[in-house]
Protein backbone atom coordinates (compact mmCIF):
# COMPACT_ATOMS: atom_id res chain seq x y z
CA UNK A 1 0.00 0.00 0.00
CA UNK A 2 1.41 3.39 -0.91
CA UNK A 3 1.79 6.02 1.78
CA UNK A 4 -1.17 8.39 2.13
CA UNK A 5 0.11 11.25 4.29
CA UNK A 6 -2.12 13.69 6.12
CA UNK A 7 -1.41 16.74 8.23
CA UNK A 8 -3.64 15.38 10.99
CA UNK A 9 -7.13 16.25 12.08
CA UNK A 10 -7.26 20.02 11.81
CA UNK A 11 -10.93 20.76 11.05
CA UNK A 12 -14.11 20.31 13.08
CA UNK A 13 -17.58 21.55 12.17
CA UNK A 14 -20.19 21.99 14.87
CA UNK A 15 -23.89 22.80 14.82
CA UNK A 16 -24.58 25.40 17.51
CA UNK A 17 -27.68 27.24 18.72
CA UNK A 18 -26.19 30.69 18.15
CA UNK A 19 -22.99 31.00 16.09
CA UNK A 20 -22.40 34.52 17.42
CA UNK A 21 -22.49 33.37 21.06
CA UNK A 22 -20.20 30.44 20.21
CA UNK A 23 -17.82 32.72 18.28
CA UNK A 24 -17.49 34.99 21.31
CA UNK A 25 -16.87 31.98 23.60
CA UNK A 26 -14.20 30.32 21.43
CA UNK A 27 -12.43 33.63 20.75
CA UNK A 28 -12.50 34.72 24.40
CA UNK A 29 -11.90 31.43 26.22
CA UNK A 30 -9.73 29.54 23.70
CA UNK A 31 -8.13 32.60 22.09
CA UNK A 32 -9.17 31.57 18.57
CA UNK A 33 -9.27 34.15 15.78
CA UNK A 34 -11.96 34.83 13.21
CA UNK A 35 -10.94 33.38 9.85
CA UNK A 36 -14.10 33.99 7.82
CA UNK A 37 -17.72 34.90 8.48
CA UNK A 38 -19.76 34.74 5.28
CA UNK A 39 -22.99 35.42 7.21
CA UNK A 40 -24.23 35.43 10.84
CA UNK A 41 -25.16 31.71 10.65
CA UNK A 42 -21.70 30.49 9.57
CA UNK A 43 -18.48 31.36 11.37
CA UNK A 44 -14.99 29.93 10.77
CA UNK A 45 -12.35 30.27 13.47
CA UNK A 46 -8.67 29.31 13.64
CA UNK A 47 -5.78 28.99 16.07
CA UNK A 48 -3.00 30.98 14.36
CA UNK A 49 -3.98 29.44 11.02
CA UNK A 50 -3.12 25.91 12.15
CA UNK A 51 -6.69 24.56 12.27
CA UNK A 52 -10.28 25.41 11.41
CA UNK A 53 -13.40 25.31 13.58
CA UNK A 54 -16.63 25.83 11.65
CA UNK A 55 -19.67 26.97 13.64
CA UNK A 56 -22.98 26.54 11.81
CA UNK A 57 -26.43 27.48 13.01
CA UNK A 58 -28.38 24.33 13.90
CA UNK A 59 -31.38 25.89 12.17
CA UNK A 60 -29.79 25.17 8.79
CA UNK A 61 -31.07 22.10 6.98
CA UNK A 62 -28.49 19.42 6.27
CA UNK A 63 -28.75 18.12 2.72
CA UNK A 64 -25.28 16.81 2.00
CA UNK A 65 -25.68 13.93 4.49
CA UNK A 66 -29.21 12.90 3.55
CA UNK A 67 -31.98 13.31 1.04
CA UNK A 68 -33.33 16.89 0.92
CA UNK A 69 -36.73 15.90 2.37
CA UNK A 70 -35.44 13.42 4.96
CA UNK A 71 -35.72 14.38 8.64
CA UNK A 72 -32.62 16.18 9.85
CA UNK A 73 -30.58 14.33 12.46
CA UNK A 74 -27.67 16.13 14.08
CA UNK A 75 -24.49 14.07 14.34
CA UNK A 76 -23.40 12.83 17.73
CA UNK A 77 -20.07 14.04 19.09
CA UNK A 78 -18.29 12.94 22.28
CA UNK A 79 -15.76 15.78 22.55
CA UNK A 80 -13.15 17.85 20.74
CA UNK A 81 -9.59 18.24 22.02
CA UNK A 82 -6.87 20.86 21.95
CA UNK A 83 -3.31 19.51 22.19
CA UNK A 84 -1.08 21.55 24.51
CA UNK A 85 2.72 21.82 24.27
CA UNK A 86 3.60 21.02 27.92
CA UNK A 87 2.12 19.39 31.00
CA UNK A 88 2.27 22.74 32.82
CA UNK A 89 0.15 24.31 30.09
CA UNK A 90 -2.77 22.14 31.24
CA UNK A 91 -2.72 23.85 34.64
CA UNK A 92 -2.41 27.31 33.11
CA UNK A 93 -5.31 26.65 30.74
CA UNK A 94 -7.40 25.25 33.60
CA UNK A 95 -6.95 28.47 35.58
CA UNK A 96 -7.79 30.57 32.53
CA UNK A 97 -10.90 28.57 31.53
CA UNK A 98 -12.14 28.64 35.11
CA UNK A 99 -11.61 32.42 35.29
CA UNK A 100 -13.78 32.80 32.20
CA UNK A 101 -16.75 31.11 33.89
CA UNK A 102 -16.79 28.05 31.63
CA UNK A 103 -18.35 24.95 33.18
CA UNK A 104 -15.63 22.50 34.26
CA UNK A 105 -16.81 18.93 33.68
CA UNK A 106 -13.73 17.00 34.83
CA UNK A 107 -10.91 18.34 36.94
CA UNK A 108 -7.26 18.02 35.91
CA UNK A 109 -6.03 14.45 35.82
CA UNK A 110 -2.67 12.91 34.96
CA UNK A 111 -3.34 9.69 33.08
CA UNK A 112 -1.38 6.42 33.25
CA UNK A 113 0.16 7.06 29.82
CA UNK A 114 1.66 10.37 30.98
CA UNK A 115 -1.03 12.52 29.41
CA UNK A 116 -2.66 15.29 31.47
CA UNK A 117 -6.01 16.89 30.75
CA UNK A 118 -9.27 18.43 31.91
CA UNK A 119 -12.71 18.85 30.32
CA UNK A 120 -15.17 21.75 30.12
CA UNK A 121 -18.15 22.69 27.97
CA UNK A 122 -19.03 25.45 25.55
CA UNK A 123 -22.38 27.33 25.54
CA UNK A 124 -24.04 24.49 23.57
CA UNK A 125 -22.73 21.73 25.84
CA UNK A 126 -19.98 20.61 23.44
CA UNK A 127 -17.31 18.98 25.58
CA UNK A 128 -13.78 20.33 25.12
CA UNK A 129 -10.65 18.58 26.37
CA UNK A 130 -7.43 20.48 26.94
CA UNK A 131 -4.77 17.79 26.62
CA UNK A 132 -1.03 17.34 26.97
CA UNK A 133 -0.38 14.08 25.13
CA UNK A 134 3.36 13.28 25.10
CA UNK A 135 3.64 11.63 21.65
CA UNK A 136 1.81 14.48 19.88
CA UNK A 137 2.80 17.40 22.14
CA UNK A 138 6.51 16.61 22.07
CA UNK A 139 6.57 16.00 18.33
CA UNK A 140 4.65 19.20 17.54
CA UNK A 141 6.78 21.28 19.93
CA UNK A 142 10.00 20.00 18.32
CA UNK A 143 9.09 21.58 14.97
pLDDT band at 126 (very low <50, low <70, confident <90, very high): very high
Domains 9-60 and 78-143 fall in the same CATH topology? yes
Asked if the model's pLDDT at residue 19 lies above 70, the reply is yes
Q: What is the pLDDT of residue 70?
A: 61
Instruction: Write down the domain spans for the chain.
Output: 9-60, 78-143
Helix (H) or strand (E) holding 143: none
- Fill in the DSSP letter of residue 35: E
How would you label 64-88 residue by residue, b for 16+ Cβ within 10 Å and e otherwise?
Answer: eeeeeeeeeeeeeeeeebebbeebe
pLDDT tens column, 62-91: 544 455 566 666 667 889 999 999 999 999
pTM: 0.79
Q: What is the CATH T-level fold of the domain 9-60, as seen in this structure?
A: 3.30.720
pLDDT of residue 100: 96
The dotted CATH code for 78-143 is 3.30.720.110
Beta bridge partners of 120: 104, 128
Amino acid sequence: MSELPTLGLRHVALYVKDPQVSKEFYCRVLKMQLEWEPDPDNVYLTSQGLDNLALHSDSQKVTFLSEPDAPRVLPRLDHIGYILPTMGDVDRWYEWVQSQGAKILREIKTHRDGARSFYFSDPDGVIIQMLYHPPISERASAK
